[in-house]
Amino acid sequence: MSTNHIKQTLSEIESELRAKIGALPEMQAKLMEQHDYSLCELIQVMTDVHLCEHPLFIKLMSLDAARCQLEIGLYGVCSDCESEIEPERLASNPLEQRCLSCSNHFSQQHRQELRLNH
Ligand SMILES: [Zn+2]
């Protein structure tokens, strides 16, 4: 995939995400005051209204990460082992941050943490 194509994909995800976030009742008052938040500001606002466990917030964070990676030429590189993420994984989720083996490892660890917390 070319950088331009990825940029295009990411901005489509961004406008979809912004629309969904804008529909959250917690966000409506904030967005009435100001509607042209940058991604960073949006992350801050969502944190302020305690939405940082929300699935849309988590998606927003990965979008922000993917955009930064694209800027520094590291898009599609696994955030754990720094090898290239499988193209089919990126095709199904352009915001993917981990390769298959690190992702399996991560979710296993996460499950263990959940078990420990309960
Ligand atoms: Zn990896």
Return the HEC string of the chain. Answer: CCHHHHHHHHHHHHHHHHHHHHCCHHHHHHHHHCCCCCHHHHHHHHHHCCCCCCHHHHHHHHHHHHHHHHHCCCCCECCCCCCECCHHHHHHCCCCCCCHHHHHHHHHHHHHHHHHHC
Please tell me the distance between residue 108's alpha carbon and the centre of ligand 1 in angstroms: 14
The helix-helix angle for 39-48 and 55-71 (nearest 10°) equals 150
Please tell me the distance between residue 75's alpha carbon and the centre of ligand 1 in angstroms: 13
With a threshold of 0.75, does the pTM exceed it? yes
Please tell me the distance between residue 74's alpha carbon and the centre of ligand 1 in angstroms: 13
Please tell me the distance between residue 102's alpha carbon and the centre of ligand 1 in angstroms: 4
The model's pLDDT over 19-34, given as tens digits with 9 standing for 90+, comes to 999 999 999 989 888 8
What protein residues have CB closer than 5 angstroms to ion ligand 1? 78, 80-81, 99, 102
Please tell me the distance between residue 111's alpha carbon and the centre of ligand 1 in angstroms: 18
Pair 90, 96: CB distance under 8 Å:
yes
Which residues pair with residue 84 across a beta bridge?
A: 77
Q: What does the block give as tokens for 35?
A: 């509607």
Please tell me the distance between residue 65's alpha carbon and the centre of ligand 1 in angstroms: 16
Give the mean model confidence (pLDDT) for residues 6-17.
96
Average pLDDT, the chain: 92
The model's pLDDT over 41-87, given as tens digits with 9 standing for 90+, comes to 999 999 999 999 999 999 999 999 999 999 999 999 999 999 999 99
Please tell me the distance between residue 33's alpha carbon and the centre of ligand 1 in angstroms: 41
The model's pLDDT over 88-115, given as tens digits with 9 standing for 90+, comes to 999 999 999 999 999 999 888 877 777 7
Q: Give residue 2's Cα distance to chain centre.
A: 20
Rounded-to-integer distance, Cα 48 and Cα 100, Å: 33
Please tell me the distance between residue 107's alpha carbon and the centre of ligand 1 in angstroms: 13
Which residues pair with residue 77 across a beta bridge?
A: 84
